[in-house]
Structure 1
Amino acid sequence: MVVALALCSVPVVVTVTLLARQPRASASPTPVEVHSPRPGDPESMTQLWLREQIMAVLTQQAGALLRGDERGFLAAAEPKSAAVGVLRRQFRSLRALKVAAWQPKITDLPARVGTEWRVPVTFGHCFVESGCDPGPVRIETRWVEGSGVPRLVAVQPSPSVQDGPRPWEVSDLVVAVGKRTVVATTAANKSKLAAVLAEAERAAEVADRYAVDGTPPHYYEIFYAGQAEWKRWYGGDRPEWTAGYAVPVGGGHYDVVLNGKDLHSTVLDDLLRHEMTHASSLPGSGSRTGENWWLVEGVADLAAAGGRPVGRYESLPDVQRLVAGGWNGPLTKAEPGAGAADWQVSAAYGVGYLAVRHLVDRFGEQALLAFFKAVIHERKSPEQASTEVFGEPWQALHDDCVSYVRSAAS
């Protein structure tokens, strides 16, 4: 799972009321009056004015999207430009996903590129529920301006590996919406939609239990990727062994992406429980796993196992192979590398699952989730979290977990 965490420091601002009279000029600087460009105006005035005009076009476009007015949505584009086809596809995919909020924002000034203007636009958006915290996506746009009205000529997919391109940016989507899940794919995989939705609805009931902050997602968003989409959506470039991932997309939301290649129906339920548990259990901004990879993946595999006994855990033979090769910990080194063999990946997940399962067997699931919250959400050290939650030093518990993994695989 590829995730990122933005750490923000919040400065303390102290406001002091000054009783002494201050010079009028410094107390209230004169605002810049934005007007349509006149001969002799600096380039910056054209940029400021154009930004206002583009925002007006985007605001009208947002209203058209939310009320289902395709013609009004496409009116933002220059006729016969490349933007028309892109916007038409995005409109239909966004409407199918039940877009409920669409909030354009421009912070940069448009930059002149030949006869066009280039400016990135951030769209805060929600699907299904209008009251959610909008997740942002940053999209590059190019415009031409004639008779005082800017028109879109190009819309480029969001470039970030984590952020984009989002499926609705680059693919024609077919969508099914349930009570707790939204499942989308392309027309080539439309026949899979009903089965994935049914399994996702069942998986949501399990994943909800692992929302350690007490607020499971109102809706889980799941994208089923064919081979071409898997290589493109969200930047592609996942390790060869990846069957799915959950990616934070802002606003506290996660998108779950399934690799349709070799995804048999017999493992679909486990994979959905695993990835949707990431979406419910991880901090909204994502989490750097690193040394805690075993804990993050162990909790997700605990959910994926669906209450099956340890003896029926599918990766147990691979853990046995790992232990037979001399594995003796530590848990902090469990994460497999990008080039790991399939059995090594399976064994690594098995180590996480067995360690987490042992903590549940000893202390109960609620204590395990409290430990998870302290380490992953509150970023406490395992040593501190173990003392606070389990009442025992972590090193002794860690060694006990390693011993359990070895014994379970013997």
Structure 2
Amino acid sequence: MNGEPLTDDHPPTTPAAPGPVTEPAPHAAPDRRPRRRWPLWSALVAVLVLLTLGLLTALPAGAVGGADARMFAGVVARAENPTTRAARQLADRITVQLERQSTALLRGDRAGFLAIAEPAVQADLRRRFATLRALRVSSWQARPKGLPTEAGRPGEWRLSVEFRYCFVAPNCRPSSLLVETRWRVGGAEPRLLEQARSKPVPRLAGRGTVQVGGLPWEMSDLVVAVGKRTLVATTPAFRKRLPNLLARAEAAAKVADQYVVGAARPDRYRIYYAGPGEWKRWYGGDQPEWVAGYAIGVGGDHEVVLKDNRYTAAGLDEILRHELAHVASLPDHDNRSDSTWWLTEGLAEHAGADGRAIGRYVGLSATRRLVNRGWDGKLDNLAPDENTPDARVTGSYGIAYLAVRYLVDRFGEERVFAFVKAVIHDRRIPRQTSDEVFGVPWSTLHDDCVKHIRGVAG
């Protein structure tokens, strides 16, 4: 609607029907009394006090408007602590440098990408540039997180920088990464002295991390193959395996796309194939001995890592279907827990089996041994740890598969996906949602499920 915005002082009106004509009332004398602006000045005084105490650094846009906003901005600018103001100005100057570097990366200008940095850091940046271009970086934004702090040497400053990026698809849901940088100030422009690799950032509450740290493109030279639904990357030592890996990943993606839980399917499945050295370094390398591949949350998305192994063709296909189904079915920020391990892994195993008869399930013999020799009959107590023997790990995955297979066969995939959405995405416990989704209390359904597993694997 055109004109001034409606406020509480000027409520919206609707046109009234014409009424009888009356004589106009005499004009009242204009009120020339000065109008008091206590709300604004009270707010300004409060802000000044808070700024003086160092308790306020910003005010939301729109808190005041028009001439009041201009007056407010001037008061805040004058009241801001000089050290804070200088740090903010430095952050703005660094932002200009980061934007120049981002533009250079996206247009393939290596010289421009390196131009903001001192020679000591350019070798690492040159490798990163080549790797990011190989990954077909399609969006790259860098912005400070917080204000610079002194680095201990005159003229040197540290600054946390968040990178948001896409590969291949320019309009993807961007992944994010937080890294520490160091800059020298003194010349015409700030100069980058160091860009660290990302480090794990633990959650303040709950299990897991905000970011894992040690991404492959930060640490290694990579060769890349891109398909319609997948991106596969590995080190130059495994270059010859890329065509086969890509073909099998594309086939697995078609299956995984049927396991999307939530609003949208992944923009692109990103798969990294790790040699022995990379397996121990990428994403921190902290994986149990029995793990051959995993899906890991990366700044709002998931990536898959496969360990170099002598897979059979069928084995490689199955592990790809399993891990890509994790990417399709897990929430952006991973909410997995031990008590629901059976559900996340059972669904991925169901995708890995890809419709095979239960009798052809690869881990069925190990599942039978566990069911008959020690399983306590509790689904929420299945998760193996890093010291669990391989045979028991395989059996645990098998029980999880049989549990989800039972739910799918009884209720259909659509309702099972709704259950996954409630339990894994929304973090509701099964007994809170089983009745709602399946029409059966969880205590009853759990017992039915266990009875079925013992019947099949007993």
Residues in 2 aligned to 1:393 and 1:249: alpha-carbon distance in whole angstroms? 36
> Which residue of 39, 52, 55 corresponds with 1:22?
39
Matches within 5 A, 1:6-405: 21-24=38-41, 26-27=43-44, 28=72, 30-32=75-77, 43-79=83-119, 81=120, 83-113=121-151, 114-115=153-154, 116-160=156-200, 162-251=211-300, 253-405=301-453
> Could you list the runs of 5+ residues in structure 2 that have no partner in the other structure?
1-6, 11-35, 45-71, 202-210
Q: Is the 8 A contact 1:245 1:258 kept in 2?
A: yes
Q: Sequence identity of aligned pairs in percent? A: 48
**CA deviation string 1:137-180 (max 9, x = no partner):** 01111112232311112111001174311111111111100000
C-alpha separation in 1, matches of 2:453 and 2:222: 43
Larger CA deviation: 59-68 vs 394-403: 394-403
Q: Does the 8 A contact of 1:163 with 1:234 survive in 2? A: yes
- What amino acid is aligned across from residue 347 of structure 1 in structure 2? G
TM-score (norm 2): 0.80
> Which amino acid in structure 1 is aligned with residue 237 of structure 2?
A
Call closer, same or farther: CA 1:75–1:397 in 2, change over 3 Å. Answer: same
Query: Does the 8 Å CA contact 1:137/1:163 hold for their aligned counterparts?
Result: no
**What is the alpha-carbon distance in structure 2 between the residues aligned to residue 72 and residue 265 of structure 1?**
44
CA distance in 2, matches of 1:124, 1:130: 12
CA distance in 2, matches of 1:321, 1:261: 26
8 Å Cα contact 2:173-2:267 kept in structure 1 = no
For the residue of structure 2 that corresponds to 1:302, the secondary structure is helix
Contact 1:121–1:140 (Cα < 8 Å) also in 2: yes
The alpha carbon displacement at 1:97 in A equals: 0.9
Larger Rg: 2
Partner letter of residue 186 of structure 2? G
Pairwise CA distance, 1:208? 0.7
Contact 1:328 1:406 (C-alpha < 8 Å) held by counterparts: no
Q: Please state how far the C-alpha of 1:368 moved relative to its aligned partner.
A: 1.5
SS in structure 1 opposite 2:344?
helix
2:194 alignment partner, SS class: strand
Instruction: Quote how far apart the aligned CAs of 1:101 are.
Output: 1.1
Point out where structure 1 has 5 or more consecutive residues left out of the alignment: 1-14, 35-40
The question of whether the paired residues in 2 share the 8 Å contact of 1:289 and 1:296 is answered with no
Q: How many residues align structurally?
A: 387
- Letter in structure 2 aligned against 1:160: P
Which has the larger displacement, 198-207 or 280-289? Answer: 280-289
Offset at residue 380 of structure 1 (A): 2.4
Q: CA RMSD in A?
A: 2.2
Q: Residues 206 and 33 of structure 1: is their aligned pair in 2 closer, same or farther, counting only changes over 3 Å?
A: farther
Contact 2:117 2:193 in 1 (8 A): yes
CA drift at 1:74 = 0.7
Q: Which runs of 4+ in 1 moved over 6 A?
A: 15-20
